[in-house]
Amino acid sequence: MTAQRLLAIEQSLNLTLPKTLKHGFAVSDISGKVLTLTVYSTAFASKLRQFQSRLVTHLQSEGWPIEEIKLRVSVQPRAQHVTPMPKEARTLDETDLDHFETLAKGLRPGPLADSVQKLLARHRRVATKP
């Protein structure tokens, strides 16, 4: 089975699946009339099982001679689907820090108040460095 055919089947499956289930699997093998998909978690496999008959019907309508889909769970996700989120941070200005100080004054002692105080100390220190 060529890689191009496996990718074509994977793309065809992605057209049928809901957005939340796309790209969580790879077509790994076709043996006779059995298609094997590698999935990256047992939870994902459980969700995908609910769509097995729909996927078989879709593939058959596309001309693929598939009668059964087997799922194999693999703990290693494909690197190409692991996309780092872009960092959306900005430096806190004086107005931001003033708002955090107002917040800190209204908080009861506890972990949140401690975190806000640490944030203020860290950013005030950065702001006062020459």
pLDDT per residue of the chain (130 residues) written in tens, 0 to 9: 578 888 888 888 888 888 888 878 888 888 889 999 998 888 888 988 998 999 999 999 999 899 999 999 987 655 555 556 677 778 888 999 999 999 999 999 999 999 999 999 988 876 565 5
Same domain, 75 and 28: yes
Torsion of CA 123, 126, 127, 130, to 10 degrees: 170
Same domain, 49 and 11: yes
Does residue 86 lie in a domain region?
no
Q: What is the CATH number of the domain that holds 71?
A: 3.30.300.180
Q: What is the pLDDT of residue 87?
A: 73
Structure tokens given for 66: 């598939």
Q: Are 41 and 71 in contact (CB under 8 A)?
A: no
Q: What is the pLDDT of residue 83?
A: 59
Same domain, 49 and 17: yes
The domain in which residue 119 lies consists of 94-128
Does residue 50 lie in a domain region?
yes
**What domain count does the chain have?**
2
